[in-house]
A and B are shown apart, each in its own frame.
Chain A
Amino acid sequence: MSKIISIHSFRGGTGKSNTCANVTTLLAAQGMRVGVVDTDIQSPGIHVLFGMEEEDMKHSLNDYLWGKCKIEECAHDVTASLKANLSGKVFLIPSSIKAGEIARVLREGYDVGLLNDGFRGLTDALNLDVLMIDTHPGLNEETLLSIAISDALGIIMRPDQQDYQGTGVTVEIARKLDVPRLFIVVNKIPPMYNTDEVKARVEKTYNCQVAAALPHSDEMMTLASAGIFVLKYPDHQVTQAYKVVAEKLAG
């Protein structure tokens, strides 16, 4: 039975795309066939982590939503480009980075129901074990849909007042939508904090399990989304934490 895992955050800049890309890679390393969809149509970014440029994008999620192609035609097998000899597969369904196409979505919107059909279509056509959804930040129609259909949800937050309230609302909603596996990931924790303490405090505040409390990492910041952290730093503390996140989300 294939699983749908959504990675969400209330605000932007929490490290959602990096978390999604790294968890995707870890699952593929375990031999799974993993699809990853960038549903952040207004601000696409995860393709950068997989080294994809504009000219490499045959079709994007946008093309599917506008009825120009089937969903599986938007899937790009990026496994080889990771140069990591993974036993599984990574299929990326990117969002368009053409300014005109982004503008068009902002103007016209799209049928959110089509997204749902797309997710099902992908899982079947590509025989996926896992479908990872990199969501748009905040709570809106698309993100609520992704949460509603997910078997597991990872909510990324930073230890910043700006994130607290919104994360609380998202946890509540995920509970109401009966998401089977729900975890918080606290990211970019400044060096002065004790990550175990942060983990305990957040778990208590939201009454929700924290899959990992990730410290701010200079290596991650320097890598700057140019690649997949867990491949570059396989023995790093943050990589170990990502492994725990992957385990918890995949179940």
Chain B
Amino acid sequence: MSKTISIHSFLRGVGKSHIVANVASVLAAQGKRVAVLDMNIYAPTLNLLFGLGSLDVKNSLTDYLFGRCTLDSAAYDITSSLGAKQKGKLYVVPAEGRSGESALLLRKGFTVEQLGEGAHQLARALNLDVLLIDNGAGVNQETMISIAIADSLGVVLRLDKKDYQGTSLVLEIAKELSVPHASLIVNQAPSDYDLSEVKTKVIKAYHSDVAAVLPYSSELATLASDALFVVKYPNHALTKLFKQVGEKLM
């Protein structure tokens, strides 16, 4: 049975997409069959991170939600970007292709059923172990639909005061929508902080599990969206933490 993991945040720019891309990559490297769905319709990010140019994209999530294709026909096999001889599989479903119709889609909206069915069909067609969904930030109709279909929810936050109230809100919504499991992922913690202390404080403040506290990494900041961190730095401490996040979310 495939697991659906949804990754959210209240604020923008907290590092969701990098976390999704890197966690997906380590899971695939461990032999799992993984698909990543870019639901960040306002600001697609994953095709850049996975080196998928817009010219390569024929079908996308947007095409599926407009009823033009199946979701698995919008899945692109990018296992080779992890390096040669991989045990698992990595697919990415981009948010939109060349059509640029995302704005129309947002106006039209879509339903829980549409996304749920698509996810189900994708998992069957590709024989997935895990479907990771990268969402846009904030609380809105699209993100709530994605939370509703998740088996496991990861909420990303930084230790920034602007984040605090909103993150509580996301966790509340997850509770109301009966998500089986939700945990926090603290990102970009200042490097001189005691990470285990941060973990304890965050668990206490939110009454929620914490999958990991990821420290700010200047290597990751420098690499930015040019390549996958876990591929470039396979033995880095941060890569181990991405593995930990993957384990906890599974």
List chain A positions with a Cβ less than 8 A from chain B: 11-14, 17, 42-43, 45, 48-49, 54, 97, 99, 102-103, 106, 137-138, 158-162, 188, 190-193, 216, 218, 221-222, 224-226
Smallest beta-carbon distance B173→chain A, Å: 9
Proximity bits, B98-110, A CB within 8 Å = 1, else 0: 0000000000000
Smallest beta-carbon distance B219→chain A, Å: 8
Task: Beyond the given A13-B14, A224-B159, please list 12 additional residue pairs across the A-B interface where CB-CB is below 8 A.
Answer: A11-B12, A42-B138, A49-B162, A97-B165, A99-B169, A106-B140, A161-B224, A192-B222, A193-B222, A218-B190, A221-B190, A226-B161
Inter-chain contact B190/A99, CB cutoff 8 Å: no
Inter-chain contact B191/A162, CB cutoff 8 Å: no
A-facing residues in B181-235 (Cβ within 8 Å)? 188, 190-192, 216, 218, 221-222, 224-226
Known: A137-B12, A224-B160. A106 touches B141 (CB 8 A): yes
Smallest beta-carbon distance B81→chain A, Å: 15
Smallest beta-carbon distance B212→chain A, Å: 18
Which of under 10, 10 to 19, 20 to 34, or 35 or more describes the interface residues of B? 20 to 34
Q: Which residues of A contact B15 (CB under 8 A)?
A: 13
Inter-chain contact B12/A190, CB cutoff 8 Å: no
CA A102 to CA B139, docked complex, whole Å:
9
Asked if B13 is at the interface (CB within 8 A of a chain A CB), the reply is: yes
CA A224 to CA B186, docked complex, whole Å:
13
Inter-chain contact B221/A190, CB cutoff 8 Å: yes
Inter-chain contact A221/B216, CB cutoff 8 Å: yes
Smallest beta-carbon distance A136→chain B, Å: 10
Stretch at the interface among B22-30, B41-49, B82-90, B115-123: B41-49
CA A32 to CA B152, docked complex, whole Å:
51
Smallest beta-carbon distance A227→chain B, Å: 9
Known: A13-B11, A160-B224. A45 touches B162 (CB 8 A): yes
Known: A42-B140, A43-B11, A102-B139. A216 touches B161 (CB 8 A): no
CA A12 to CA B156, docked complex, whole Å:
14
Inter-chain contact B11/A48, CB cutoff 8 Å: no
Inter-chain contact B12/A43, CB cutoff 8 Å: yes
Smallest beta-carbon distance A174→chain B, Å: 19
CA A49 to CA B160, docked complex, whole Å:
10
Task: Name B158's closest neighbour in chain A (CB-CB).
Answer: A224
Known: A137-B12, A138-B42. A190 touches B162 (CB 8 A): no
Inter-chain contact A103/B188, CB cutoff 8 Å: no
Q: Which residues of A contact B45 (CB under 8 A)?
A: 162
Q: Which residues of A contact B160 (CB under 8 A)?
A: 224-225
Known: A218-B190, A224-B160. A138 touches B11 (CB 8 A): no
Proximity bits, B20-64, A CB within 8 Å = 1, else 0: 000000000000000000000011010010000000000000000
CA A88 to CA B208, docked complex, whole Å:
44
CA A162 to CA B43, docked complex, whole Å:
9
Inter-chain contact A12/B218, CB cutoff 8 Å: no
Q: Which listed residue (A45, A54, A192) contacts B218, Cβ 8 A?
A: A192
CA A12 to CA B42, docked complex, whole Å:
11
Inter-chain contact B161/A48, CB cutoff 8 Å: yes
Q: Which residues of B contact A226 (CB under 8 A)?
A: 161
Inter-chain contact A218/B191, CB cutoff 8 Å: yes
Q: Which residues of A contact B132 (CB under 8 A)?
A: none
Asked if B137 is at the interface (CB within 8 A of a chain A CB), the reply is: yes
- Which 4 residue pairs spanning A and B have beta carbons closest together? A13-B13, A12-B12, A190-B221, A160-B224
